[in-house]
């Protein structure tokens, strides 16, 4: 598969820790969407996504993240992307989405 998803809920800071490895594109974005939808069905909390092994994202992946963010934002929760590669940071910057996601 083009993407691997690890997930873990940290009760002490009420946060989902997700790690994405691979590419988030038209092939894999639905799978990520399903996993993220599952976790917010279980528990709406802040989501931290470790992007160290995420090598590629395009609008199909970004769209999934926007959709999830909209849902959790209603409960004042947010999405943080950590260890983000430069090419991906750039994409969030040119689309202005670095103002609505926290990118580290």
**List of residues contacting other proteins (CB under 8 A):** 2, 23, 25-27, 56, 58-60, 62-64, 66-67, 86-87, 90-91, 94-97, 100
CA distance 2 to 42: 25
Query: Any bridge partners for residue 24, and if so which?
Result: 57
How far, in Å, CA of 60 to CA of 63, rounded? 5
Residue among 64 and 72 whose Cβ is closer to other proteins: 64
Pick between residue 17 and residue 56 the one whose CB is nearest to other proteins. 56
Q: C-beta of 62: minimal distance to other proteins in Å? A: 6
Cα(8)–Cα(86) distance, integer angstroms: 25
Q: How far is the CB of 103 from other proteins (least distance, A)?
A: 14
Smaller CB separation from other proteins, 15 or 60: 60
Do the Cβ atoms of 52 and 86 come closer than 8 Å?
no
């Amino acid at each position: 598969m083009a993407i691997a998803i690890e997930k873990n809920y940290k009760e002490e800071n009420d946060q989902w820790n997700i790690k994405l490895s691979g590419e988030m594109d038209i092939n894999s974005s639905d799978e990520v969407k399903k996993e993220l939808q599952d976790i917010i069905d279980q528990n709406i909390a802040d989501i931290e996504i470790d992007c160290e092994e995420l090598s590629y994202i395009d609008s199909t992946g970004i769209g999934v993240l926007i959709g999830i963010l909209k849902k959790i934002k209603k409960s004042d929760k947010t999405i943080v992307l950590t260890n983000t590669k430069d090419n991906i940071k750039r994409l969030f910057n040119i689309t202005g989405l670095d103002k609505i996601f926290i990118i580290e």
